[in-house]
Amino acid sequence: MTHRVTHHGTPAVELHGITKRFPGVVANKDIELTVDRGTVHAIVGENGAGKSTLMKILYGVQQPDEGTITVDGTVRTLRTPSDAIAAGIGMVFQHFQLADNLTVLENVVLGAEKLHGIGDAARRRIREISTSYGLGVEPDALVADLGVGARQRIEILKVLYRGAKIVILDEPTAVLVPQEVDELFGNLRELKAEGLTVVFISHKLDEVLKVADAITVIRRGSTVAEVDPKGVTPRDLAELMVGSELPSPSTDESTVTDTPLLTIEGTSLADPAGGRALLDGIDLVIHAGEVVGIAGVEGNGQAELVEVIMGMREPSSGRILLGDVDTSDWQVREIREAGIGYIPEDRHRHALLLEAPLWENVILGHQTDRANLTGPGGLLIDAAAAKQETREIVEQFDVRTPSIDVTSGSLSGGNQQKLIIGREMRRNPRVLVAAHPTRGVDVGAQSAIWDHIKQARREGLGVLLISADLEELVGLSDTIRVILRGRLSGDFDPDVVTREQLGAAMTGATGATGATAAGGPTGTDHTGAAGTPTDGGSR
């Protein structure tokens, strides 16, 4: 490798010859990883390459079958996360583990009461840490009031409070909007300036190149390169990941028709707690062959918009039409059967049975479809057909799995997502409601998913695309709307809109041009936007 990294002094972490096998899969094979103290080290690789497994080994969640772990020059056996914490290693998971109804202080001290108690000493320590690393965490704030960026900073503070000198972050930017990503990177730079070490997993290669001092590339369980980011492009990295040259992204012509498939008319959703409306007069039409992208800071009504469309919640006013049929009071099952595909934001809670085999997951949500039933009176699930369907999805959507009989929970995150996309797309829906469809998938799989969506759009699919990834929104959408405090902005043209314009509309900054941005800053009402670290989103 031309851009090799040179190491100096005793590394913070050295993994040597790490091998980890699962039934039918070698997740890590003879991995070598050297992380220098006071650096930010990125781990990249395709879905299922073995990144999470490696980080779980370093955090004591899983034990390697072979290999050694050396922390600050001492060989360690990490049997549990407590062992890792004792060795100065902390980990921030992608799914935050904070209790909403507790304060920041209560969340931080939970399980670590012995360190500084639960009162003023703890409060002082939290303030100290927050100040030294510029985290902007206020100990007495209620977590429920905080936005995603702030919650992540609390998670980071939690591990620092427990004495971590090495902080592992699993895809930390996947849930953040661009401004929050910049803030996080500022925080990471502060950590390393203070001599701490950061190891993070990411699929966003441009971001990796921006913040990392060194990058380790993993392919199919093995280390293939350690790269100095200087002079390397995202494309170079992607090619190292997949081990071949990538096709160039293709440009696309408009396929928008004037046939409305999904119409949302003056739809509002009251807040059961009596606060500001969760959705406020939403008007939106999706035509055949059209992708409508929704941008916004998380917690501004995206989830509720999806819930009213999918029949999980009934709107307080307004109508939702599928074609010309009013579906406002339909149940989820009726809506799905009428031809709406659904890729939910939280795949663990809403899309998969983690303990069930892949093929059972493939008929999930469609058990009552006639096509899935067999036997006298059509009362039995047709397992053979479901298995065949699963094999085809695995093949067509490149789901990396040892077999279709393993549980969906054993697949890597990106491969779970590919399975869900395959399940939804193979039913040829008329409308697809997709929340963050490529979250957690690698660049190769991402462009494959984009191609599937583009292909279906050419054939007349209408798509509602909710995404935190502006590149995805701009690349796929025919028109982009911004959601802010339950209201939708006017149309932004993805061909001309800038990131700054979208960012301004998303945070409600005045002067957002290019469309009639909905709502303005009201002074008392925060959106969890970047810039004000302790402000919360409405969630």
Ligand X SMILES: Nc1ncnc2c1ncn2[C@@H]1O[C@H](COP(=O)(O)OP(=O)(O)OP(=O)(O)O)[C@@H](O)[C@H]1O
Q: Which residues bind ligand X (CB under 6 A)?
A: 22, 25, 27, 45, 47-53, 400, 410-415, 440, 442
> Shortest approach of ligand X to residue 12 CB, angstroms?
21
> Shortest approach of ligand X to residue 198 CB, angstroms?
17
Beta-sheet strand order (sheet of 25-35): 25-35, 13-22, 66-71, 74-76
Q: How far apart are CA 286 and CA 262, in angstroms?
A: 5
Q: How far apart are CA 87 and CA 56, in angstroms?
A: 14
For the record, the structure tokens of 467 come out as: 């995404």
Q: Using the minimum distance from each CB to ligand X, give the nearer residue, 19 or 534.
A: 19
Running DSSP on this structure, what letter comes out for residue 525?
Answer: -
Q: Using the minimum distance from each CB to ligand X, give the nearer residue, 27 or 464.
A: 27
Closest CA to 87 of 167, 155, 20: 167
Q: How far apart are CA 346 and CA 22, in angstroms?
A: 25
Q: How far apart are CA 288 and CA 462, in angstroms?
A: 5
> Shortest approach of ligand X to residue 443 CB, angstroms?
11
> Shortest approach of ligand X to residue 219 CB, angstroms?
10
Q: Using the minimum distance from each CB to ligand X, give the nearer residue, 411 or 432.
A: 411
Q: In Å, how far from its chain's centre is CA 214?
A: 23
Q: Using the minimum distance from each CB to ligand X, give the nearer residue, 27 or 261.
A: 27
Q: How far apart are CA 199 and CA 471, in angstroms?
A: 25
User: CA–CA distance from 138 to each of 107, 112, 419, 528 (Å)?
Assistant: 12, 18, 40, 14
Query: What residues does 168 pair with on adjacent strands?
Result: 91, 199
- The CB density around residue 70, as the number of other CB atoms within 10 Å, is 16
> Shortest approach of ligand X to residue 76 CB, angstroms?
21
Q: Using the minimum distance from each CB to ligand X, give the nearer residue, 157 or 238.
A: 238
> Shortest approach of ligand X to residue 49 CB, angstroms?
4
Q: Using the minimum distance from each CB to ligand X, give the nearer residue, 190 or 398.
A: 398
> Shortest approach of ligand X to residue 81 CB, angstroms?
16
Determine the residue type at 488. Answer: L
Q: Are 419 and 408 in contact (CB under 8 A)?
A: yes
User: CA–CA distance from 510 to each of 102, 297, 521 (Å)?
Assistant: 34, 16, 8
Q: Using the minimum distance from each CB to ligand X, give the nearer residue, 182 or 239.
A: 239
SS3 488: strand
Closest CA to 396 of 455, 459, 341: 455
Residue nearest to ligand X (CB): 414
Q: Using the minimum distance from each CB to ligand X, give the nearer residue, 24 or 520.
A: 24
Query: What residues does 142 pair with on adjacent strands?
Result: 103
Q: Using the minimum distance from each CB to ligand X, give the nearer residue, 440 or 444.
A: 440
> Shortest approach of ligand X to residue 180 CB, angstroms?
21
User: What distance, in Å, lies between the first and last C-alpha atoms of the chain?
Assistant: 47
> Shortest approach of ligand X to residue 230 CB, angstroms?
25
